Amino acid sequence: MALKLAREGGHPQPQADQSHSPMAIRGLTVSYGEKPAIFSVDMTVEPGAMTAIIGPNGAGKSTLLKAALGVVKPLSGNVTCWGSPLGKMRVRIAYMPQRASVDWDFPTRVIDVVIMGMQRELGLLGRVRTTHLERAMSCLSRVGMEGFADRQIGQLSGGQQQRVFLARALAQEADLYLLDEPFAGVDAATEKAIIAVLKDLKAKGKTVVAVHHDLSTVRDYFDRVFLINTHKVSEGPVETTFTEETLQSAYGGRLANLPKGAVG
Partner 1 sequence: MIWEALFLQLGYNATLVTIGAALLGMAAGATGVFLFLGKRALVSDAISHATLPGVGLAFIVMVALGGDGRALLGLLLGSALSAGVGLLCVSWLTRATRLSEDAAIGAVLSVFFGFGIVLLTVIQSMTAGRQAGLETFLLGSTAGMLWDDAVVIALGGAVVLALVVLMRRPMAAVAFDPEYVAASGGDVRRIELAMMGLAMAITVVGLKVVGLILIVALLIIPAVAARFWSERVGHVVVIAGALGGAAGWVGAAVSATAPNLPTGPIIVLVAFALFLASLLLAPGRGVLAAALRHRRFQRRVHLRQGLLALAQGQPIYEGLTLRLMRAAGHLRPDGVATEAGRAQAARALLDERRWHLLRSDPRHEAAAARYDGLTPLERVLTPDQIAELDRALRPEGIT
Binding site for partner 1 (CB under 8 A): 66, 69-71, 87, 90, 95, 97, 101-103, 106-109, 112-113, 116-117, 119-120, 122, 124-126, 144, 147, 152, 168, 172, 178, 189
Rg for the chain (alpha carbons), in Å?
19
Q: Which is nearer to partner 1, 148 or 242 (CB)?
A: 148
Q: Which is nearer to partner 1, 7 or 120 (CB)?
A: 120
**Dist. CA 138–CA 115, nearest whole Å:** 12
**Dist. CA 113–CA 167, nearest whole Å:** 9
Backbone phi, then psi, for 134, in 5-degree steps? Answer: -65, -40
Strands 50-54 and 224-229, bridge-based pairing? parallel
Backbone phi, then psi, for 181, in 5-degree steps? Answer: 50, 60
Nearest approach in angstroms of CB 175 to partner 1 is 14
Nearest approach in angstroms of CB 171 to partner 1 is 11
Nearest approach in angstroms of CB 254 to partner 1 is 29
Nearest approach in angstroms of CB 84 to partner 1 is 14
Q: Which is nearer to partner 1, 122 or 263 (CB)?
A: 122
Q: Which is nearer to partner 1, 77 or 259 (CB)?
A: 77
Nearest approach in angstroms of CB 121 to partner 1 is 11
**Dist. CA 159–CA 145, nearest whole Å:** 11
User: In angstroms, what CA-CA distances link 19 with 24, 30, 107, 162, 186?
Assistant: 9, 25, 42, 32, 36
Conformation bin of residue 172: beta by default, left when phi > 0, alpha when psi is -120 to 50: alpha
Other beta carbons within 10 angstroms of residue 149's beta carbon come to 18
Q: First CA to last CA across the chain, in angstroms?
A: 21
What 8-state DSSP symbol labels residue 260?
Answer: T
Nearest approach in angstroms of CB 99 to partner 1 is 10
Nearest approach in angstroms of CB 205 to partner 1 is 22
Q: Which is nearer to partner 1, 35 or 120 (CB)?
A: 120
